[in-house]
Amino acid sequence: MKTKPVDPSSSEFICLAHRGASGHEPENTLLAIEKAITMGAPWIEVDVFAVEDELVVIHDERLETTTNGTGCVMKRSLAYLRSLDAGKGQKIPLLREVFDLTKGRAGVNVELKGPGTAAPVVKLIGEYRHGHPGRYDGWVLVSSFNHRELAKVRSLNPDIPIGALGFGLPPKHAKFAQDLGAVSVHTSVARVNRAFVNDAHRRGLKVFVYTVNRADDLKRMRAMGVNGVFTNFPELVLSGHHEHV
Ligand code: G3P
Ligand code: MG
């Protein structure tokens, strides 16, 4: 099934496939991303590090967790990283390959993991902008727990939508995201509450919650009025009939 990205500012409840459909295929691989699109997910979330002149798509700082390699992502050569198996024979993808694969079919939420990712991500998004007339909304959203990198994205290109990631419940709720100029605030399913959601909405921010893999949590999130969830199992959100732990 083909799908189309949904503008994150829309009122639709948004399913963001977390590291692709990572409950079904190896996380952060092109296989997991294609699977998510086939399942109908309008958004794909991926994690990136900058290595040499490229952006590589992987979550952990260390390679042992998801690949047959060893050591730290940032301390290895691009050639070495690209020689590894990230599961089912998949390579660690480049972000540009993710854009090539998803183009026009799903939006990409690029989560900046490593240092020095803001500038190359802004540059790459600029290269791909031509396929998306006029606006950035609806096909790319840059997020990070590293708010300095996010601020850098804003300063380099204020038109690129950013989402501010947080884990706990700050005393001033979603103010940090508003101060960054974000369109959305991304917070943990373990911590989010109605007061936080209401505060974010008052500030004009969407709330996207990670990582929702259980039907009871999804129900709770919908009741709380959040605007979308990250999930390893897109079918949970898209059909509402399945539960995964
Ligand atoms: O971007 C949402 C979520 O992916 C943040 O946590 O550790 O899974 O990257 P993590
Ligand atoms: Mg992530």
Each residue of 52-65: pLDDT tens digit?
999 999 999 999 99
How confident is the model at residue 48, as a pLDDT?
A: 98
User: Is any ligand 1 atom within 6 A of the Cβ of residue 187?
Assistant: no
Whether 235 lines ligand 1, by a CB cut-off of 6 Å, is no
Count the Cβ atoms, other than its own, within 10 Å of residue 181.
15
CA of 155 to the centre of ligand 2 (A): 22
pLDDT by residue (tens digit) across 201-211? 999 999 999 99
pLDDT of residue 2: 40
Measure 35 CA to ligand 2 centroid, in angstroms: 17
Whether residue 8 has pLDDT greater than 80: no
Residue whose CA is closest, atom 6 of ligand 1? 210
Q: Which of 186, 212, 227, 231 to mutate to test the pocket of ligand 1 (most atoms within 8 A of CB)?
A: 186
User: Percent of the chain beyond pLDDT 70?
Assistant: 91
10: pLDDT strictly greater than 70: no
Among this protein's residues, is 59 annotated catalytic? yes
Predicted pLDDT of residue 9: 63
Contact present, 92 and 58 (Cβ < 8 Å): yes
Which position has the token pair 């198996």? 85
Catalytic (active site) residue 130 = no
Is the CB of 27 inside a 6 Å radius of any atom of ligand 1?
Answer: no
Q: Phi, psi at residue 238, to the nearest 5°? A: -80, -25
Give yes or no for residue 89 having a pLDDT over 50. Answer: yes
Range with lowest mean pLDDT among 37-41, 98-102, 202-206, 237-241 = 237-241
Rounded to the nearest angstrom, the distance between the alpha carbon of 210 and the centre of ligand 2 is 9
**pLDDT confidence bin for 245, thresholds 50/70/90:** very low
Share of the chain above pLDDT 90, in %: 84
Total-model pTM: 0.94
Tell which residue, 154, 160, 165, 144, has the closest CA to residue 208.
165
Atom of ligand 1 nearest to the CA of 208: 2
CA-163 nearest atom, ligand 1: 1
pLDDT score of 164 more than 70: yes
How far is residue 170 CA from its own chain's centroid?
22
Residue extents of the structural domains in the chain: 14-238
How far from 173 is each of 58, 193, 198, CA to CA, in Å?
Answer: 29, 10, 9
CB of 16 closer than 8 Å to CB of 230: yes
For ligand 1, is residue 113 a contact (CB within 6 Å)?
no
Q: Cα(113) to centroid of ligand 2, in Å?
A: 8
Run of H or E including 147: helix 147-156
Q: What is the pLDDT of residue 175?
A: 98
CATH topology for 14-238? Answer: TIM Barrel (3.20.20)
Does the C-beta of 143 come closer than 6 Å to ligand 1? Answer: yes
Q: Is 41 helix (H, G, I), strand (E, B) or coil?
A: coil
Active-site option among 18, 24, 173, 242? 18
- Express each pLDDT in 91-150 by its tens digit: 999 999 999 999 889 999 999 999 999 999 999 999 998 766 555 667 999 999 999 999
Q: Whose CA is nearest to atom 5 of ligand 1?
A: 210
Which residue, among 187, 103, 96, 188, has the nearest Cα to 138 in the 3D structure?
103
